[in-house]
Amino acid sequence: MTEQAPVRTERVIALDAMGGDHAPEQIVLGALAALGELRCQLVLVGDEARIRPLLPTPMPSGVSIRHASQTVEMDEKPTEAFRTKKDSSLYIAAQMVKDGEADALISAGNTGAATTFALLLWRKLTGVRRPAIVSRMPNRDGGFALLDCGASPDIDPESIVEFSAMGRAYAEVVMGRKAPRVHLLNIGEEEGKGNAFSQQAFKLLQEHSWFAGNIEGKDMYAKPCDVVVCDAFVGNVVLKTSEGVAELIRTLINQAVPNNPVLRALYWPVKLVTRPLKKEMDYASAGGAPLLGLNGLCIICHGRSSARAVKNALTGTQAMIENDLVGAIRNALGHEV
């Protein structure tokens, strides 16, 4: 009689400890900061000789290390890295998800490599032409989901419908939206606006009751919206431009405060007012953005991720696992596409 492997009951997150500009120090610090809120087991994947000294002795409960002898650098070509770095922290973490050893992968490393590794190892969900990265963006009405923010820059209009179905599932599971509606990012609100791609995407989206029409870039931040869809080229430009504007506003506010201690005290009420705004505009608050459309959960973090960003990515990923985001997307694709 063949002995069957025991069924894994606990949730596990594989964290690429070597990915990002400040790895492994900030990655490990973020992991330690999240332990009090985690109900999942956490596996730090990377160079054990560099990771272990950053951890307390004895090893905290719920944390383990999976050694990896290689690291995928930020400037490496994704397909070349996939071919030559089978013992990298990113590859091993992705393989753990494929093998059922982990429920999710988190990485602040090479975004293209993370997308490629997950796509090639896990494959796409049925009904998905191309995957999409979704980011939660701030606005005056509680925020909205923007996708694609970087996974698939060259797509057919039909993929926009798939992005919409996946974005709606994300908005329901992660953002708590009821019957979320979808807008198409365009240069004008009226039907017939935009290039040929946008016009064709509009026609396809019109067939669905949840489609709310075109929306201009400025209106995403000013009007109520749940999900905004576009191709990855446009989405990534929007995402990085928004980050740049947010940083500019914070810098200008800080520069406006005088150096004189007496005069600085007069600005204390302004600081109290702008503190919530700073949190809304800080990428570290979100932690990471999920890659949607694959047979697994991959969370992509900013390359500059701090320990706080990593902590928030871990707690956010835990919620996505427990609420079965991948299952919700699979179900949405079956009904809408």
Q: How confident is the model at residue 83 (pLDDT cuts 50, 70, 90)?
A: very high
Question: 17 and 10 in contact (C-beta within 8 Å)?
Answer: no
What are the extents of the domains in the chain?
8-128+293-337, 131-281
What's the pLDDT score for residue 292? 97
The neighbour count for residue 249, using CB atoms within 10 Å, is 14
> For 152-161, 230-239, 282-291, 312-321, which range has the lowest pLDDT when averaged over its residues?
282-291
Topology of domain 131-281, CATH: Isopropylmalate Dehydrogenase (3.40.718)
What's the pLDDT score for residue 251? 79
What's the pLDDT score for residue 5? 45
Share of the chain above pLDDT 70, in %: 89
| Cα–Cα distance measured from residue 34 to residue 16, given in angstroms and rounded to the nearest whole number | 15
pLDDT, tens digit (0-9, with 9 covering 90-100), for 159-208: 999 999 999 999 999 999 999 999 999 999 998 899 999 999 999 999 99
CATH 3.30.1450.10 fits 8-128+293-337, yes or no: no
Nearest to 20 by CA among 302, 313, 333: 302
Structure token digits, residue 133: 């990265």
Residue 39 in this model has a pLDDT that exceeds 90: yes
pLDDT, tens digit (0-9, with 9 covering 90-100), for 243-274: 888 788 777 877 777 777 766 666 666 666 55
Residue 1 in this model has a pLDDT that exceeds 50: no
Residue 100 in this model has a pLDDT that exceeds 90: yes
Average pLDDT across the chain, whole number: 90
What's the pLDDT score for residue 23? 93
Residue 3 in this model has a pLDDT that exceeds 50: no
Question: 88 and 71 in contact (C-beta within 8 Å)?
Answer: yes
pLDDT, tens digit (0-9, with 9 covering 90-100), for 124-170: 999 899 999 999 998 888 899 999 999 988 899 999 999 999 999 99
